[in-house]
């Protein structure tokens, strides 16, 4: 079987909408053979390229046609591919926590990888190099909370926002939450500590 046939077979076993990276097929042939096969399969419409080195097995909706993966999914795929850490910031963190209904067109992620910008449809993902300290947070929710609160700013957090934050922090692992609180600025620690004192966190 050719490298291309093996790749097609592997792709067909995946659910529609699955993101594909050349590294997923490294056992099937040389990196050059995989790259050329993916290039040809894209031309044939078997896969769709969503960003450099990232493809998707197209998912077709009966109502709206092809569905493209979200910028968030692409960012996660890049982090996995490049073995880098990412932390969402600003308006993206606010939106992810439900503190803002506005879906940001530009997603800014702190990373220990290379700084770069990637376009996914009409949206842009910006990877911003940061210090290792900013990436030490373990909890998926608590790290979002820290970045969201930084975006809102000290003294600007409304009571309703604080209540919502404490509500979502209850879903965080207590050990991770305690670990992450210690990394946050003092004013953020004060807010997040309330999640520990409100019964189970």
Residues 55 and 84 in one domain: no
Residues 78 and 44 in one domain: no
Residues 79 and 144 in one domain: yes
pLDDT of residue 122: 83
Residues 75 and 61 in one domain: no
Domain boundary among 35, 66, 97: 66
- Overall domain count for the chain: 2
132-155 per-position pLDDT tens digit:
888 999 999 999 999 999 999 999
pTM of the model: 0.74
97-120 per-position pLDDT tens digit:
989 888 888 899 999 999 999 888
Q: What whole-number distance in Å separates Cα of residue 112 and Cα of residue 132?
A: 7
Question: What are the backbone angles phi and psi of residue 83, rounded to the nearest 5°?
Answer: 50, 50
Residues 91 and 45 in one domain: no
Residues 43 and 120 in one domain: no
Residues 16 and 87 in one domain: no
pLDDT of residue 7: 94
Residues 85 and 51 in one domain: no
The residue-averaged pLDDT of 159-165 equals 93
pLDDT of residue 34: 94
Residues 18 and 80 in one domain: no
pLDDT range class, residue 200, cuts 50, 70, 90 = very low
pLDDT of residue 198: 63
Q: Is 43 exposed, middle or buried (0-12, 13-18, 19+ CB in 10 A)?
A: exposed
Residues 124 and 148 in one domain: yes
pLDDT of residue 64: 76
Q: Which domain holds residue 106?
A: 71-197
Domain boundary among 19, 38, 66: 66
Helices 140-152 & 159-169 angle (0-180, nearest 10): 170
């Amino acid at each position: 079987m050719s490298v291309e046939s093996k790749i097609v077979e592997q792709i067909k076993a995946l659910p529609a909408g699955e993101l594909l990276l050349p590294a997923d097929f490294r056992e099937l042939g040389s990196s050059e053979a995989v790259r050329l096969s993916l290039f040809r399969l894209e031309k044939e419409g078997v896969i769709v390229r969503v960003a450099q080195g990232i493809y998707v097995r197209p998912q077709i909706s009966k109502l709206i046609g092809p569905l493209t993966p979200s910028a968030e999914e692409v960012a996660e795929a890049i982090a996995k591919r490049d073995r880098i850490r990412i932390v969402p910031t600003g308006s993206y963190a606010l939106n992810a926590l439900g503190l803002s209904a506005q879906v940001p067109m530009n997603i800014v992620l702190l990373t220990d990888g290379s700084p770069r910008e990637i376009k996914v449809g009409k949206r842009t993902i910006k990877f911003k190099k940061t210090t290792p300290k900013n990436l030490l947070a373990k909890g998926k929710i608590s790290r979002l909370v820290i970045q969201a609160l930084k975006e809102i700013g000290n003294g600007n957090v409304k009571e309703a926002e604080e209540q919502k934050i404490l509500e979502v922090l209850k879903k965080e692992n207590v050990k991770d939450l305690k670990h992450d609180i210690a990394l946050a600025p003092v004013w953020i620690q004060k807010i997040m500590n309330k999640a520990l004192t409100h019964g189970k966190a």
